[in-house]
Amino acid sequence: MVYTRGLGPRAERRGGSSPLSGTNEIFRVRVWRPPKPWRRRISIPTKIIVLPARRSRASLDEGGSPAPKTNMDMKKYFKQYIEAVTNPLPEMADYFDLENHYLKDLVSIKKDALDVGCGNGRNMKFLAPYCKEIVGIDYDRRMIAAAKRNLEGVKNAKFLQANFFTRRFPHNYDLVFASYNLLGSSEMLVDQGLSVLRRMVKFTKPGGRTVAAVWSDTGINFARKYYTSIGITVDTIKGNNVITDFGIFRRFTRNELHKMAKGLGKSHKVLSLTPLFYILDIEV
Ligand SMILES: C[S@@+](CC[C@H](N)C(=O)[O-])C[C@H]1O[C@@H](n2cnc3c(N)ncnc32)[C@H](O)[C@@H]1O
- What is the 8-class DSSP label of residue 252? B
Packed helices 254-263 and 192-202: angle between N→C axes, nearest 10 degrees: 50
- As a whole number of angstroms, the distance between CA 71 and CA 98 comes to 34
Question: Per-residue pLDDT tens for 192-230?
Answer: 889 999 999 999 999 999 999 999 999 898 999 999 999
By residue count, the chain amounts to 284
For residue range 31-90, what is the model confidence (pLDDT) as tens digits? Answer: 445 555 554 554 544 444 434 333 333 322 333 334 445 566 788 889 889 989 999 999
Averaged pLDDT, 121-144: 97
pLDDT at 20 over 50: no
Domains present along the chain, CATH in parentheses: 2-54 (no CATH), 74-283 (3.40.50.150)
What own/partner pairs with CB < 8 Å and gap ≥ 24 does 193-197 have? 193/250, 193/260, 194/260, 194/263, 195/57, 195/60, 195/61, 195/165, 196/116, 196/164, 196/165, 197/260, 197/261, 197/264, 197/280, 197/282
Helix (H, G, I), strand (E, B) or coil at 120: coil
Does the beta carbon of 85 lie inside 6 Å of ligand 1? yes
Residue from 55, 120, 143 whose mutation best tests the ligand 1 pocket (most atoms within 8 A of CB): 143
* Element at 200 (helix H, strand E): helix 192-202
Query: What is the widest separation between alpha-carbon atoms in the chain?
Result: 75
Instruction: Check if 211 has its Cβ closer than 6 Å to any atom of ligand 1.
Output: no
Q: What is the pLDDT of residues 230-281, one digit of tens each?
A: 989 999 999 999 999 888 999 999 999 999 999 999 999 999 999 999 999 9
pLDDT digits (tens, 9 = 90+) for 74-104: 888 898 899 899 999 999 999 999 999 999 9
Residue 160 has pLDDT above 90, yes or no: yes
Counting from 1 in the atom list of ligand 1, the atom nearest the Cα of 140 is 25
Measured CA to CA, the distance from residue 155 to residue 78 in angstroms comes to 25
Asked if residue 182 has its Cβ within 6 Å of ligand 1, the reply is: yes
pLDDT value of residue 185: 87
* Ligand 1 atom 13: residue of nearest CA: 117
Is the minimum distance from the CB of 88 to ligand 1 under 6 angstroms?
A: no
Residue 188, pLDDT score: 80
pTM: 0.78
Closest alpha carbon to 245 in 75, 77, 20, 26: 77
Q: Which residues contact 83 (CB under 8 A, 6 or more apart)?
A: 230, 231
Residue whose CA lies nearest to ligand 1 atom number 9: 119
User: Is residue 248 packed enough to be buried (19+ CB in 10 Å), middle (13-18) or exposed (0-12)?
Assistant: buried
Ligand 1 in reach of 180 Cβ (< 6 A): yes
